[in-house]
Amino acid sequence: MPGWLDEEHNRIDDDFLRNGKRKYLQQLTPRLQRMTGLLASNGSWLTYGDAVGMYGFMLSLKGNASMFGFSRIGTVAGQWLEVWGWINEISVGAPDWGSLCSRSIAESQAIAAELNREKELCERELDIDEQNGLMKNALHAFVQSRLLIIDTDDTLREYLVNRLLMDGCTAIDEASDIESAKRLLREHHYDLILLDLMMYPQSGYEIFEFLQSDPVLKWVPLIVMSVRADVQDKVRCFFLGAVDFVTKPFAYEELVARIYGILHRTQIFEKVAFRDPLTGVYNRRYFDHQIQTELQRISRHPVPISLVFMDIDRFKAINDTYGHHIGDLVLQGLAGLLQNNLRSSDLLARLGGEEFVVVMPNTSGADAHKVTEYILSLARQEAIAHHEGEALYITFSAGVAEWRAGMTLQMWVRQADASMYLAKQQGRNQVVLSVDEMNGMAGRDGHAERCKKIVVAAADPFLRSILISRLQLPNVDIAGAANGEEACQLLSAASPADLCIVDELMTLDGFGMLEKLQDDRSPQKTKVLMLSSRAKEIKLASRIQIGFDDFMIKPFSMVDLEQRVKKLLDI
């Protein structure tokens, strides 16, 4: 069983036991209150049936309390039974009932008070245990996480790194400027970012823009730290995706509690939303999202990437012979074998049933074929599960396809899937490397689908970030430019842009940029969407056809903007 499942089962067991303890104490409360009320009457309202009922209650308490970890309550209940032991030796209406009852009531007053004190003490201990359980879960997420601290203040940055390391965090990177932070974000995966908003000379808002332009990084939780308790800053940061905002100076203990909580919630969300509950690997939802992300990355930075589809051979026979619970063990065993022999950068997901998929970045088809062949050889040799002392072995059929320039996602998936079924048809227990069919496909389709490109030219980093964030569309690559010169460089790159969104407030004026675009525009026409607050000027410009294809007057609706963009891109 994968390690994370062991930990999850232990956590569930602890939670179940705590809930059982809580319910037991809750059920105990009204019965103790009734018993205390009967004793307070000094026996005037106590009947033989009441006495027998209290004795039975204490007998149950002595036997069951220890099972829930309340041994002290069980011990006190035993003292009660000693005082009232005579109840089993007399019958209703016995002549000495009154004297025995009065004596036992007097001796029981202190025992009843002790029982109530023990119950209250157990409730407090349970509260502490539950709080510790929450802290343990949060600390577990904290220890396993990698953090990035971006701050120009060397003293504060060093202090935070040292304190977080002392508190158990094992992986922390730091950056003193925006460019270093961007480099680290490209090179590593982070679970949380701490960002100083008021950096100099560059603004922390540039990090927001960078994160929002990346389909993976935009989901990384970010805590903003700022010396300004400005409401507008807070509103902007939350709109741009920040999950928290702390004002300097702050108490370290408060900051680390916020970090604990965010990491713990993120971990729970990931398991619920993106993990297959049986095997612990990613599910189809995450695969569908991540595969789009990988394709967008390689469209910007071309590197080899391969896709592997695999299906367990004769899995139905395993379920029919041994039962579905053994089939579940086989699925968990294969997932564990794959996890132990793939890189951390590889993406493993269960698509459903007995079918798994692996995305291997920076890996050619030939290399992916070798890795999959090696894992298949291990599956043949190592027992994947055991049933009543019998070792169970499996094989699988797999198809491998390397992505080629111009391929759509559908083509790539179809190649890997077809190769897997070819492996099945050829006798199973093998890995088939797909033959590149792109030439044939291009001939049939006329052309391969190209990723659309948008350039957002806006001087205001807040506006630029918002636009980039809202225009994350399928099969669309988007880049930002802080001024007209940067925009012109992006537009004159080897890969032409399909659309340029121009804000008028730039160092190279928006209208001036349009004139430059008319001179430099490539044979493939780049469409232009103009954003302006000058309604009269923009309408006049449209009449003299200065060079834009559409315009929007500020303020405008983001929904309307998205519709305009889709229309201009024909998507």
Residue 503: name the closest of 465, 452, 545 by CA.
Answer: 465
Q: Point out the catalytic residue in the list 174, 209, 354, 504.
A: 354
- Catalytic annotation on 354? yes
Q: Is 312 helix (H, G, I), strand (E, B) or coil?
A: strand
Cβ-Cβ contacts under 8 Å for 515 (sequence gap 6 or more): 546, 547
Q: Which amino acid is at 515?
A: E
Structure-block tokens of residue 176: 């003193």
Element (H, E) at 390: strand 390-392
Element (H, E) at 499: strand 499-503
Contact assessment for residue 219 and residue 243, using Cβ atoms and an 8 Å cutoff? no
CA distance 336 to 1: 7
Strand partners, 246: 225
Alpha helices per DSSP H over 192-283: 205-212, 231-239, 252-274
CA distance 197 to 208: 10
CA distance 245 to 23: 38
CA distance 208 to 446: 40
Strand partners, 244: 223
Catalytic residues: 354
